Amino acid sequence: MTALLRQIAARVLLAATLLVAFAAGALAQDGPDFAAWDAVATRAEEAIESREVSEDVFESLRQELTDWRQVFQEARTRNEAAIDAVQAQIEALGPKPEEGEEPAETAEQREILNTRLNELRAPVQRAEVAFSRADALIAQIDRILRERQADRLLRIGPTPLNPVIWPRAVEALVEFFRHTAQDISANWNNPARIADFRQNLPKTVLLLTLALILTLRGRDWVERLVARLQDQGRTAERWLTGFVISLGQILLPVLGLLLLAVAGISTEMLGDRGDLLMATLPAAGFQFFAARWLGGRLFPRTETHEPLLSLDSAQRTEGRFHASILGLVLFLALPIRRIQDFVGWSPEIFNVLTFPLLVVAGLALLRLGQLLLRRAPPETEGSSEPEFRQRLVSLLSRITMGIAVLGPVLAAIGYFNAGEALVYPTISSLMLLSLIVVLQRLVDEVYILFSRNREGVREALTPVLAGFALAIVSIPLFALIWGARVTDLTELWNRFLAGFTVGETRISPTDFLTFVVVFIIGYAATRLLQSALRSSVLPKTQLDMGGQNAVASGIGYVGIFAAALIAITSAGLDLSALAYVAGALSVGIGFGLQNIVSNFVSGIILLIERPVATGDWIEVGGQMGFVRDISVRSTRIETFDRTDVIVPNADLISGTVTNWTRGNLVGRLIVPVGVAYGTDTRRVEKILQEVAEAQPMVLLNPPPYVYFKGFGADSLDFEVRAILRDINAILVVQTEMNHQITERFRDEGIEIPFAQRDIWLRNPETLRSAPPGPLAPAGPGAGDPQDPAAGAAQLHPDDLPGHDGEGEGDR
């Protein structure tokens, strides 16, 4: 009967598992269209093989491949639930017997489950293969695009220094503006356009007026307002307010250019070429005014707030001028590039027209590099800036000067693309670096605003971390500036999100963030629980302070361990994979971490057994003080000198420790007293007993005891032994008892003896200033070294150096 029930239960479980597996498999049937994928992959392989496809086509193919790869990435995990269910059923059947045959029913179930497992894994494996194929095709397209980009940079073209090309270049530029004027003239003679122009004239006039005001005067107004605000004093509030207002130096003129472009295009009188120039104005103007704004922040007119660079007024003026020149180069370069794309100028014409801009940009970069190099050499003495920042600025200035010379030279030789790829990205990189510096200053001022500590901002950790975050965020921007494609960055980001594999476990940034978030939540919950126990629960129990600290610390250790365990499992990490790490760590613990493990275990013993608790007065290893904290590895003792002594926990467990306050504060005080020989000892005993009993801290049960210790070399020795209700007051009580004993002995005429010594000198002739001569014996046996009387001769005053016979008495 039992076997029949087991068979029925097994069949029911198998049916349920197969039902789940088939349901998941049915949902998985709606998978990728592999026929459509094969067509896209074949087209991509043909384009890669031919290498004659344009870059736009390659980019389009790459986007399609990226979409398909994402589809296959999702398909790789679509049947996970069904596969896990079938695998769990197979594991429940157990392994096949090595000898003999397993029951037919079990073998049948195993065969059905294995067949279903293979059916579920088939689309996953097919998606794996398609994913790998798409990934490989994307990598090949990226390689082709990078090779083409490198070929363009290294391709030599017509030199702009060829005078034969100059007339044609000038003629091409003049022809463009002549055609623009012809378009305007033709539209002006068109009655329909004239009617539209007159209809839109009020709006156009208003837009032009606002545009001219904002473009010509807006920046000036904002600059004056900022200067007036910051001249009132140096505070974080004024700096931040001035910073926000100063952004108007970019926004107002760019808004004016935008209104000018809208007004010009709305007239419908400029033609295609005129509309092209108008549409270029806002973007070109943004680059120009952004460069001027950054120059104004790096090279300010006044020194009310500490400048970012240590330059004098003339150098800052020069820096602002060169920043404006670089902005003007960017302002002119963009329209020329747009005109070249519109008209289709030949490379030699384009090179001749843009070469002067490269030369001017190179000169401005060279002067800026020299300015920065003179400002912050690494060997500057007495500088308040960190050496790392000085070296970084020095290296940056040298690189800038090198590119300022190399870029125009390459363009002049004929490597025009390489020259442009050096000069313009350098300008953009300097602007981005300047923006990072300005934002770092913004972070510093915000920190000062909240902390009210301007002097400590350089040593604070928060601004440093913010600066590090700014540097990390700027890395993709620098990559884009220097020629990286957006697809390259997205590819790197996807690979970063995919993570890495450790054994059979894949760890991704998402898993890491999950681990960090869960652990932080668990850690915070543990600290809240500890705080609640210390403040609300434990004080209401019968535990002493040491026991309360032990309970709170133990809960903290358990909570942190549980938080780490939950965080690991929440991140999807397989704890069984950590067995190898644990094995390796055990070897390291056995050899190199014995003391650490010993101290850790001793700390646990201290918290559980509690031979020493927080607040106890202990003496260990020659150090005496109060226990202030017991951690996992060590115990902190505060000595009476108000210094902290860190004692390893193993010393407290294996060494000898004197705990003066363990269990209670009662302790014994011993006060030694000596009196002169001949004193009435009974009277001394009575006086000492009265003094001891008069102390408030001395317990009368048991009463104090006066102990006649014995006969010393100079005195009769007594000891007062008393029990104090608080041993922490031992020094106060002993001091007070000594005062009262001295007063009573003085009133009673009892003498407290002190040691007295007579000094006898051998060979007094050695104290003379002159070399000693032969001495006659002073008496019988005076020269005999064996005679004791020879060393007992007294020193006469005449024998002392500097005396002429007038003595002060014998010594």
If asked whether residues 388 and 516 sit together in one domain, one would say no
If asked whether residues 526 and 445 sit together in one domain, one would say no
What CA–CA distance (Å, rounded) separates 811 from 807?
10
Residue-wise pLDDT for 160-210, tens only, equals: 998 889 999 999 999 999 999 998 888 888 888 888 888 888 888 999 999
Comparing 96-105, 156-165, 428-437, which segment has the lowest mean pLDDT?
96-105
Residue-wise pLDDT for 265-303, tens only, equals: 888 888 889 999 999 999 999 999 999 999 998 888 877
Q: Residue 127 class from Cβ within 10 Å (0-12 exposed, 13-18 middle, 19+ buried)?
A: buried
How would residue 439 be classed by pLDDT, with cut points 50, 70 and 90? very high
Token pair 């197969």 is at which residue? Answer: 18
Q: Which of 403, 425, 459 is the last residue of a domain?
A: 459
What CA–CA distance (Å, rounded) separates 107 from 144?
54
What CA–CA distance (Å, rounded) separates 797 from 811?
9
If asked whether residues 229 and 206 sit together in one domain, one would say yes
If asked whether residues 658 and 671 sit together in one domain, one would say no
Could you write out the three-class secondary structure of 598-612? HHHHHHHHHHHHCCC
Comparing 336-350, 488-502, 610-624, 780-794, which segment has the lowest mean pLDDT?
780-794
Question: Which residue, among 620, 594, 593, 592, has the nearest Cα to 606 in the 3D structure?
Answer: 620
Evaluated on CA atoms 294, 298, 299, 303, the torsion sign reads: positive
Sequence-ordered strand ranges (E) for 58-181:
none
If asked whether residues 563 and 694 sit together in one domain, one would say no
If asked whether residues 340 and 215 sit together in one domain, one would say yes
Residue 476 included in any domain: no
If one counts the domains in the chain, the total is 6
If asked whether residues 372 and 268 sit together in one domain, one would say yes
If asked whether residues 677 and 776 sit together in one domain, one would say no
- Give the chain's largest Cα–Cα span: 156
Alpha helices in 376-415 (DSSP H): 387-413
Token pair 């001891």 is at which residue? Answer: 692
CATH number for the domain including 624?
2.30.30.60
Q: Which of 426, 459, 492 is the last residue of a domain?
A: 459
How high is the pLDDT of residue 521? 93
Question: What is the extent of the structural domain holding 682?
Answer: 667-748
How high is the pLDDT of residue 270? 86
Residue-wise pLDDT for 561-613, tens only, equals: 889 888 888 876 666 656 666 666 666 666 666 777 777 778 778 777 778 88
If asked whether residues 731 and 711 sit together in one domain, one would say yes
Residue-wise pLDDT for 731-748, tens only, equals: 899 999 999 999 999 998
Token pair belonging to 695: 């102390």
Residue 322 included in any domain: yes
Q: Are 709 and 718 in contact (CB under 8 A)?
A: yes
Residue-wise pLDDT for 351-390, tens only, equals: 999 999 999 999 999 999 988 887 644 444 444 445 677 7
Q: Residue 603 class from Cβ within 10 Å (0-12 exposed, 13-18 middle, 19+ buried)?
A: buried
Residue 471 included in any domain: no
CA separation (Å) from 602 to 605, 643, 645? 5, 24, 17
How high is the pLDDT of residue 278? 92
Q: Which of 404, 424, 459 is the last residue of a domain?
A: 459
Buried b (16+ CB within 10 A) or exposed e, 260-297: bbbbbebbbbbbebbbbbbebbbbbbbbbbbbbbbbbb
If asked whether residues 732 and 692 sit together in one domain, one would say yes
What CA–CA distance (Å, rounded) separates 674 from 677?
9
What CA–CA distance (Å, rounded) separates 422 from 481?
10
Residue-wise pLDDT for 512-526, tens only, equals: 788 888 999 999 999
If asked whether residues 316 and 386 sit together in one domain, one would say yes
CATH number for the domain including 706?
3.30.70.100
Residue 493 included in any domain: no
What CA–CA distance (Å, rounded) separates 612 from 623?
15
Residues 6+ apart with CB under 8 A from 531: none
Residue-wise pLDDT for 638-691, tens only, equals: 888 888 888 888 888 888 888 888 777 888 899 999 999 989 999 999 999 999
If asked whether residues 279 and 187 sit together in one domain, one would say yes
Question: Which residue, among 218, 217, 225, has the nearest Cα to 243 in the 3D structure?
Answer: 225
Higher pLDDT residue, 10 or 574?
574
Give SS3 for 618.
strand
Question: Which residue, among 737, 730, 728, has the nearest Cα to 695 in the 3D structure?
Answer: 737
Residue 683 included in any domain: yes
Q: What rounded mean pLDDT belongs to the chain?
A: 81
Residue 25 included in any domain: yes
Residue 264 included in any domain: yes
How high is the pLDDT of residue 213? 93
Could you write out the three-class secondary structure of 492-524? HHHHHHHCEEECCEEECHHHHHHHHHHHHHHHH
Residues 6+ apart with CB under 8 A from 179: 273
Element spanning 626, H or E: strand 623-630
Residue 494 included in any domain: no
Token pair belonging to 465: 């971390």
